[in-house]
Amino acid sequence: MAIEVITREDLNEFRSLLLNDLKEIIHSKPQQAKQWLKSKEVRKLLNISPGTLQNLRINGTLTYTKVGGIMYYDNSDIEKLLNGNKVNAVPTLFK
C-alpha cells in the first residue's frame, strides 16, 4: 500500500480548481422552469385552494390540458395570468 503525501501546493491547486468549478456552476445559464405543471404544483405556486383553481378553469381564466384524468397547466399561461393582473403600486406614504 503506497502512501501519498499531500502538500500545501496540492491543496491550493485543488482549492483553485474547486472555486473555478463552483463559479462556472453559479454563473451558468439558469435551469429552465418546467413547461407543464400539474394541479398540485400550480396550487402551491399560486398559494390557492383546489376550489380556487377549479374556478379559474371553469371561468376560462386559466387554460389547461387534460390527459388521462390529469390536468396540466402551461407555465407560460400562468405567467401571462400573473402579468395581466398586475396592479401598479401607488406610493401614498407621504402625501
Mean model confidence pLDDT for the chain: 89
Q: What is the identity of the amino acid at 42?
A: V
The three grid cell numbers given for residue 25, joined into one nine-digit string: 456552476
Whole-model pTM? 0.59
DSSP 8-class letter at 34? P
Contacts of 74 (CB under 8 A, 6+ apart): 35, 36, 63, 65
What is the pLDDT, as a whole number, of residue 26? 84
- pLDDT (tens digit, 9 = 90+) per residue, 41-79? 999 999 999 999 999 999 999 999 999 999 999 999 999
51/32 Cα distance (integer angstroms): 29
